[in-house]
Structures are given as structure tokens and as C-alpha cells.
Structure 1
């Protein structure tokens, strides 16, 4: 792979990782509410989901899913339903989503990992992203596995780095946000953001 091609892919990957989506919103919320170590588990769940989606796309399964409108719509609406579920859960949680003074009251690392994983894995946009992007940079006359490792590894590193950066920023400013958390408007704002993403995914064909 030419260096110039890789730099183009790197730029696209960074732009995708920086953009604010459900996984980023959840990661920032976890950082505010449950601290950096707990939030890290959620970030790892997000990254693991991206890894699986990259494999699905690279092995041709993604192309099969895209070729089947019915299957794609099923995946899409599963993702929409889960976003709505998480959004409503956050809005209705009220005090239980408040700033966790007692770490024992916080969700387990496994729970945060699973929630972030399911949000990322149920997003069909990622399949479209990788399925359309990989062929543009993979050279069929060269061994495919090393190329895939480079491209997928780049996306995974960016996903981890930038998502965890949102966690650190949110954690750093949690004291300033504490009033909003305790008054309940921050959970409502976070939950509403999830409902917005679900609506946008439903409207977008």
C-alpha cells in the first residue's frame, strides 16, 4: 500500500472516530458518572464491536448483508430499537444515573462493556463504511491479510484513542457538570441525544 493511500485512509478514519455518535455520547456519560476505569470497559466494548464489524465487512459477509435489503433493514431496526431503549433508560433512571459518589452503586465493568458493544454492533452504518472503504485501499495483487491488519488496526486505534479522549474530557469537567447531573437535566439531555440518533437512523434510508 502506498504511503499516500494510507494517509488518505488515516484521515478518513480519524474523521469517523472524532465524529460524535451514540458510542461517544455513552462513553462521555460513563466517564462523568462512573469514572475513567469503569468507562474504559465501555470503550473496549465499542472497539471490540468495530473489530468484529471490520472482519464481517472484509470477509464478504458485509456485502451479502448489503445485497439483502430485508436483512439490512432488520439489523437497522434492531439498532434503532436498542438506541431508543438506552435513551429511555437513561432518561427514566433519574437518581440512579446521578454522579456516583459510592463506586459500589455503579454498574459493573461487564455491564458497561456489553452496553457499548451492543450499541456499536447494531449500527449497520459501520458495515456500509467498511464494506465501501476497504475495497478502495486493498490491492488484490498483494497479500490481503497484512493490508487488512493495517487498515483495521488503524481504525481500532483511532476508535479507542478518540473515544477514550472523550471519556477523559468528560471526567475532567465532571465537577462543573455535577449540578446538571444532580438536577436531572444532563441525563435527560443524554437520553434525548440517543432518541435523536435513533430518529436520524430511522429517517435515513
Structure 2
């Protein structure tokens, strides 16, 4: 893969990933509620989901998901239900003080990791997006597996950078705003997640073609 192709991929993926999707909202919430260390666990979970999704695309799972109505519906409804559950958790989450949030626990880190990983893997739109998007940057004359590895690692790194910006924004907001405002931010994220859940429930495979 030449440098110009990789550069175009970086620009395109950065433009897509900077939008406030579920992973970015989780990073914002983790940064605000628990601090950067716990947020980094969530970033690791989201990055792992990118690697697994692109690996699945390379193995043909994306084409299978696009061909099977039953499998697509199963993943779609599971993802929508999980996003709705996360919205409920964020809505009810208590706003912690800065001193309490700055002392992360292993349980919080594991929870942030598993949540971000589950969000990434339970969203069929991600798999369908990579299935339609990645082949445009793959050169069949060159080693295909190596190209998928490069694109997977690049995607995971870009995702981490974008999530870091969201998490830092949440952390900065926590230092400046009152607990009442932070509760409003948490509930705003919950509302957006609920709308994303509805959007996923209404999503159809034909939209990705």
C-alpha cells in the first residue's frame, strides 16, 4: 500500500470517526465521570472492536451479514437494545465529585472496556461500513492480508485519537462545571444514545448499498 492511498484513508476515516457516535459519547462520559485512566480502558475496547470488525470483513463476515436477513436482524436488534440499555445507565448515573472520580477502580476500567467493545461489535452498521469502505483502498495485486492489517491498525489509532479528544473534553468540562451541569451532560449523552438506538432499529441493509 502506497503512502498516498494510506493518506486518503486516514483523511476519510478521520472525517467519519469524529462524528459523535456511541463510542465517542462513551469516551466523553467516561472522561467526565471517571477520568482519563478509566476512559483509556474504554478506548482500548473500542480499538479492539475496530480490529475485530476489520478482521471479520477480511474473512468475509461483512458479506455474510449483508446476505443474511436473519443474521443482520439479530445483530441489529441486539445492538439497538444494548444502546438503549447504556442510555438508561447514563441517565441514572450519579454525578461524582472530582476527587472521587479521580480514583479509578479496576472494576470501572473493566466495565468501560467491555462496554466500548460491546458497542463496537453489536453495531452492524460498523461492519457494513467497513465492508463497503475498505475494498476501495485494497489493491488486489498486492498482499491483501497485509493491507487489511495496515488499515485495521490505522483505524484503531485514529479512533483512539478521536476518543481522547472527546474524553479530554469531558474531563475539562467536569473541572469547570457544577455537578448539576455535569448531570445535564450525562443525560444529554443518554438522550443521544437513545436516538442512535432508534436509528439503528430503523436501519436497513439497503441503505448501505
**TM-score scaled by length of structure 1:** 0.90
Aligned pairs for 1:61-100 (under 5 A) are: 61-93=61-93, 95=94, 97-99=95-97
CA displacement at 1:100 relative to structure 2: 5.3
* Contact map agreement 1:45 1:113 (CA 8 A) in 2: yes
Aligned pairs for 1:38-187 (under 5 A) are: 38-93=38-93, 95=94, 97-99=95-97, 101-103=99-101, 107-181=107-181, 184-187=183-186
In structure 2, the residue matched to 1:9 is 9
* Contact map agreement 1:34 1:99 (CA 8 A) in 2: no
CA displacement at 1:105 relative to structure 2: 7.9
**TM-score scaled by length of structure 2:** 0.89
* Contact map agreement 1:39 1:167 (CA 8 A) in 2: yes
Any idea what the Cα deviations from partners look like across 1:18-77, whole Å, max 9, x if unmatched? 111011011111001101111110111111111101100111111111110110111011
Partner secondary structure for residue 99 of structure 2: coil
Once structures 1 and 2 are overlaid, which stretch shifts more, 116-125 or 140-149? 140-149
* Contact map agreement 1:23 1:120 (CA 8 A) in 2: yes
CA displacement at 1:129 relative to structure 2: 1.3
CA displacement at 1:181 relative to structure 2: 4.6
* Contact map agreement 2:38 2:112 (CA 8 A) in 1: yes
CA displacement at 1:177 relative to structure 2: 3.0
* Contact map agreement 1:76 1:122 (CA 8 A) in 2: yes
Distance 1:187 1:10, change over 3 A: closer
In structure 2, the residue matched to 1:188 is 187
CA displacement at 1:98 relative to structure 2: 3.3
Distance 1:91 1:118, change over 3 A: same
1:33 equivalent in alignment to 2:63: no
In structure 2, the gaps of 5 or more residues are 205-209
In structure 1, the gaps of 5 or more residues are none
Distance 2:75 2:146 in 1: 30
Alpha-carbon RMSD:
1.8
